[in-house]
Each structure stands twice: as structure tokens, then as C-alpha cells.
A and B are shown apart, each in its own frame.
Chain A
């Protein structure tokens, strides 16, 4: 949906409080042999280290790897496998898909016919209404999961409703939210989407308590932080679920966690989600397909199989900064779900890196030149 056509230099998000990217950059970049000896013309003219780094990035880079959808190897290349595959396609599209659409429609009917009355008739009795709405949303999510033949294995203690806690999870697709929501009604913070998804967001999700943000608004960040804090303090609110990566990643890697969730002064409960790709690749490549297409793809596949781990709640350790805390939790989640960590901010999908990173390199170069000039 979103295109990278309008890149702009980012501001506050990617600036000062990021850990040093140079520490993570792949081989060759900062681990070059420090050149020694007096500065000669040869050294000034030799651009090979910098050029090699640039070419290395062109050939392969750890950022685009995170958003690459790897289609499964085709296996239907054979005289008897191909008809089998065709049967599979027929079954999936002509039998499974209509059945699933039916299930989903029934689910919607039940949901709407219960939700609308509850929402309007019980306006006075807040607590009862909220409990009912909560259960209804959980039920609707179960219908969604059933419509993709979701096989979800939950590990670990179920989330409890306690104040001063947030849940954080790695993000692969918007269905992450649905899969978690069918077990526990979370409140969620999401990017406001257009279309029917946006409609859903502003009506039904409002009832479980949702916070909207807008990626392109820089000022938005302060407003959002305030809303998050308010929500976490409220004892009656549903537990808050945050996807600190800020964007969908392809379930092989994790990108940097935004520190917003980790500086609210409450316990952070990590949740790890790993999809089994044999049945379908659940990664929503928002650059390539709309959410509708993504859902249709899921509904015409055999099953969505995944594991969800509810991990041990973590608190800010004394002397730890929110960024270190975020990295520690990212470590825990990546380790559990078997994901590799990369040092990039997910928002680089939408904007260019801050000039500050380039400045580091330039500074190193200038200092090295001056130092070698002094040598005899």
C-alpha cells in the first residue's frame, strides 16, 4: 500500500537516542585495519574501503532482508505432483474458501447482532457493557482465526489483567493482533489505516480501547506517549499491546524496538510470535499487497500455523536506560522465536537515515587523515 516514492529526511525518530549503528554494521565496515604510516598520495586517493562498503550494501544489506518475502519453493514440477497440486488448488479455492467465507459471515452476523444492541442498550451499565464487548471481540477474533484454519499454540501463562503492565510482541502482519486478541482482549496502539480496516478500527476496536498514531506526524509522538501513560495507569483498561518494531517484518528478523513502550514506568511482558511457513507465509508485505489481498491469500491457503510464547515479565533494571531495556527485551523475544536481530529502525522503510550516521564515518576519515599527517 505505502510506496517509498516520497522519502524524506527523518527527524526526531532516528536521531540522537539510537544506539551506535556502527557497532552492528556487517563485516568490513568498521573492522577495517586502521591504516598506519605517513599520509601519502596513494592513501588520499585510495577510496576502496568506502567504495567496497557501498557496493556491499548494493549487493545485500541487512535492512531490505527484513522485508523480503521468500516465496516457498515450488514443488509441483513433476508429472504426478502437478495434478496433485491442481487438486489442492481446486480444493482450497472451491471448497475451503467458500466454507471459510461462510464461517466468517456467520461470525460477523452473530457479532454485529450482539455487539450493536449491547453497545447502545447498555450505555448506563459501563462495567457490564465492557465485559460483554470484550468477550464479543474475543469471539470475533476466534472466528477470524477459524477462517484461516489457524492452528495457534499458546505457551506460557495467559496474560492477566493487572494495572501497570504492557505487552510487547514482534510484528509480522496485522493478524498478529487478531491471534493474540482471541485469547485476551488487549487494547492496542495502531497506525490508522484507510478503507474498511480504518472503519473497523474506529468502531469496534474503540470498545477495547485503542490508541491511534500517525507515523508521518513528528509531534504525534508526544501526544501518543501521553495517551499511553494515561492508559496504563487506568485500572479498568484492557492490558495494552504494543508492537515496538513499528512496522511489519518478515518473521526472520527483528528490527530495532522503539523505546516508547519501555519508558512508561511499568512492567513489560514480552510475547514472541513465530509462524510456520510450510503452510503459508504470514508476512504482510505492505509494500506489495493491500491488507485485503493479504487476507484473501490467507483464506485460500491450507492453514496458518504459529506459536505464541508469553514470556516472563521484565522490569527496568537499576541503571538501565529505556533503550537498553528495549534491546534486552528484543533479545529475549528474538531468542525465543528464533529471529535474527538487525540494527535498523523500521521507519527507514518510509524515510531516509539521518545524516548523523554518515557524519560518524566522515569524522573517522578526517581524524585518520590528520593523525597520519603527523606521523613521520
Chain B
């Protein structure tokens, strides 16, 4: 299986670029393709979830479980689109939308107290009892002007995360 750009035509690269809203240069896309092929060992055209878990650095990330549902059966175009949010060229809005999606696992556009609690549990593991987490979350929500039973939508997230901004970037160095 080739891992050079001879497997990707110029048309392919441009199509992928468009699909990911111009977040990557053509060189970066070629480099990502090389990585995609490396992970797609059986040449299925998509990366099975198990393969991501063979990356030790990814497997030990507290949010790996949630991310795996978003990474399920992505072909190369979608793989690049997924990663585009981590490009320095991605917009703040795109990044906040992504974070929202991590919470909103049932994709109904609403993030509840339970949703946030679930993510916090992943992040802190056994090092914080659930009751204490609920208390902290309730307190912090109220200080920000929400109630425990409030339901947050995307515009709320934009408001909360928007002022200070979100630094979510990965270095896509080219080999």
C-alpha cells in the first residue's frame, strides 16, 4: 500500500480541502493521508475503532471513549474533516460546536446536567465522588446564571466559552 502522494490525485486533495473548509494546506492533507493509511492497516477505507486504541497516547486519554463514537468508521474525507477543528485556521465557532458535540452524545442539540456530569466523571475518574461533583457543578452553574435543571444549547455554549476563547490546536507538522 503506497504511502506517498501518488495515491492521491490533485482532485482528491482539493475535494478533501473543500470538505474540511480549507483548514489544511495540500501538504498537510498529504501528510494526513500517510497517517490514515498507516492506521488503516487492513485497507478497508476506514479506520476501525480498535485501531485508535492501539495508539497508547490516545488510549490513555480520559475522553477517548467519547471520541471513539465520533471517530467510528470515518473514511479519509471525514477523518480530515474531524481533525480540521484542531487546525489553527479553524474558527472559534467551529471549535465550540465541537466541544458541544462531545457533551451532546444523543445529538439532540441539548446538553443537560447529566451530560456534563458524565463528561466530568470521565475526566476525574475515581478521584472525585459523584456527589461532590454534582455539588460543584450545581454551584458553578448557579454562579453563571443557570439552574441545575437548565438545558444548555449551542448558543449558551457560545456565550460561556466565547469571551475567553478556546485554545484547541494540534501541530500538523509535515513529515
Taking Cβ atoms with an 8 Å cutoff, the residues of A that contact B are 4-5, 7, 25, 27, 39-42, 44-48, 50-64, 68, 71, 287, 344, 348-349, 352-353, 357-359, 361-363, 365-367, 369-370, 373
Contact = CB atoms under 8 A, between A and B. Distances in A.
B166 A48 contact: yes
B62 A41 contact: no
A367 B146 CA distance: 25
Given A48-B99, A68-B38, A352-B59, 10 more contacts: A39-B140, A41-B144, A44-B136, A47-B99, A53-B57, A59-B35, A60-B173, A352-B53, A362-B124, A366-B128
B55 A57 contact: yes
A25 B125 CA distance: 21
A56 B173 CA distance: 11
Given A40-B144, A42-B161, A365-B124, A55 B55 contact: no
Q: Using C-beta atoms within 8 Å of the partner chain, give the interface range for chain B.
A: 35 or more
Given A61-B56, A64-B55, A56 B170 contact: yes
A51 B143 CA distance: 26
Contacts of A4: 50-51, 54
Contact of A57 (B32, B58, B99): B58
A353 B59 contact: yes
Main secondary structure of the interface of A (DSSP, over half): helix
Nearest to B123: A365
23 contacts: A45-B160, A47-B63, A47-B119, A48-B99, A50-B62, A50-B63, A52-B169, A55-B170, A57-B57, A57-B61, A58-B71, A61-B57, A62-B57, A63-B57, A64-B39, A64-B55, A349-B54, A358-B125, A362-B127, A365-B124, A366-B123, A366-B124, A366-B127
Given A25-B57, A55-B170, A363 B102 contact: no
A5 B123 contact: no
